[in-house]
Copies of this chain bind each other. A is one copy, B any other.
Amino acid sequence: MKLYTFWRSIATFRVRMALNLKGINPEVEYVDLLKGHQHGDYKTVNPQKLIPALVLDEGGPPLFQSMAIMEYLEETYPQPPLLPKDGRGRARVRGLSQVVVSDAHPLSVPRIRNYLTQTLKLSHDQMHEWVRHWQVEALQTLETLLSRDKETGRYCHGDAITIADICLVGQAVGSSFFDVGIKPFPTVERIVNTCLENDAIARAHPLKQPGAAAPA
């Protein structure tokens, strides 16, 4: 198994957390997004020119999209489970995850920031405010849901780590790269800090990967 990865990619961070939690150690290959390596040979791996991509030992086209990869890992390596057993619980975990994966993160990725500053000629401040706006909105939504629902426990859903926690930690770390903190969102903050005490999650952190630099 081979993971295409880069320290700065939050979507890849999610998959690294899932792999670590499942005790899987794939070969890795680095795609330096800041140097534009996704536009080179990598596009034959993933035509969307996004990471992560996961090549299976059996060969064939790589898996892509972090949620699809995490669902694959869950089905193929069921221990420890990263989804609850009951249907409603699974829907809640997936719903919380998609708040991050669909409604927040895609609005702040490099191609969007580049379009804002290069095509629309917006200022760096306007771009930054755009990112902050959607990150704060997502964190507020997550805080509202997590503080409302009795299913919230030590983690997003009960007392075991799920894909929702993986997505939440990715959201928090990604937001921190744009100076958006989680202090105003106490339930989010509590769960993120609890997650970061887990070694499998902590060592997947972007700033612990080769080549990592404190974001400008």
Residues of A within 8 A of B (CB): 47-48, 50, 56, 58, 60-61, 63-69, 71-72, 75-76, 87-88, 90-92, 94-95, 97-99, 101-103, 105-107, 112, 115, 119-120, 122, 126, 130, 133, 141, 144-145, 148-149
Q: What is the CB-to-nearest-CB distance from A140 to chain B, in angstroms, rounded to a whole number?
A: 9
The answer to whether B102 and A101 touch across the interface, beta carbons within 8 angstroms, is: yes
Q: Considering the chains assembled together, what is the distance between the CA atoms of A61 and B152 in angstroms?
A: 13
A-B pairs with beta carbons under 8 Å apart, 17 shown:
A48-B103, A48-B145, A50-B103, A56-B88, A58-B88, A61-B92, A65-B95, A67-B98, A68-B91, A68-B94, A69-B95, A72-B90, A72-B94, A102-B106, A106-B107, A107-B112, A120-B126
The answer to whether B115 and A133 touch across the interface, beta carbons within 8 angstroms, is: yes
Q: Which among A91, A101, A148 has the greatest number of chain B C-beta atoms within 10 A? A: A91
Q: What is the CB-to-nearest-CB distance from A100 to chain B, in angstroms, rounded to a whole number?
A: 10
Given contacts A76-B87, A90-B75, A107-B107, contact A141 B98 (CB under 8 A): no
Q: Considering the chains assembled together, what is the distance between the CA atoms of A115 and B137 in angstroms?
A: 13
Q: Which residues of B contact A97 (CB under 8 A)?
A: 68
**Given A63-B88, A65-B98, A71-B91, 20 other A-B residues pairs in contact with their CB atoms under 8 A:** A48-B141, A56-B88, A61-B92, A65-B102, A67-B94, A67-B98, A67-B102, A69-B95, A72-B88, A72-B91, A75-B87, A75-B90, A76-B87, A98-B102, A101-B102, A102-B106, A107-B112, A115-B130, A115-B133, A119-B133
The SS class assigned to the A binding surface is: helix
How many copies are assembled? 2
Q: Which among A56, A67, A119, A133 has the greatest number of chain B C-beta atoms within 10 A? A: A67
Q: Which residues of B contact A87 (CB under 8 A)?
A: 72, 75-76
Q: What is the CB-to-nearest-CB distance from A49 to chain B, in angstroms, rounded to a whole number?
A: 9
Q: What is the CB-to-nearest-CB distance from A87 to chain B, in angstroms, rounded to a whole number?
A: 5
Q: Considering the chains assembled together, what is the distance between the CA atoms of A10 and B75 in angstroms?
A: 28
